[in-house]
Amino acid sequence: MDIQTKKLHFIQEFLRLKDENLINKLNKLLKSERKKKVERELKPFSQNEFNDLIDNSESDSKNGRLTSARELKNEIDSWN
């Protein structure tokens, strides 16, 4: 059974649930597992990577490669 089929079966079973406590437990489990996955994938910067990031940011600022909050808000508003 492929992943899409498994997801569809799970959704069908989930939609049949009438026990709110069980739904809450499943929701809590899902959130917990997502958080664990994110934490496993996060990797702290080395000191050199962090310094390079700062140097690049300063260079972007000096060379006008920035987007203002207003410009960003206008762009986001145009998505709708």
**Going by C-beta distance under 8 Å and a sequence separation of 6 or more, which residues neighbour residue 14?**
23, 26
Percentage with pLDDT > 70 across the chain: 100
Model pLDDT, residue 43: 85
Q: What integer is the mean pLDDT of 35-53? A: 92
Cα dihedral across residues 55, 60, 62, 67: positive or negative: negative
Pair 34, 27: CB distance under 8 Å: no
The domain locations on the chain are 3-41, 47-78
Q: What integer is the mean pLDDT of 5-27? A: 95
Q: Tens digits of per-residue pLDDT, 62-75?
A: 999 999 999 999 99
Q: Indicate the residue type of 63.
A: N
Evaluate if pTM is beyond 0.75: no
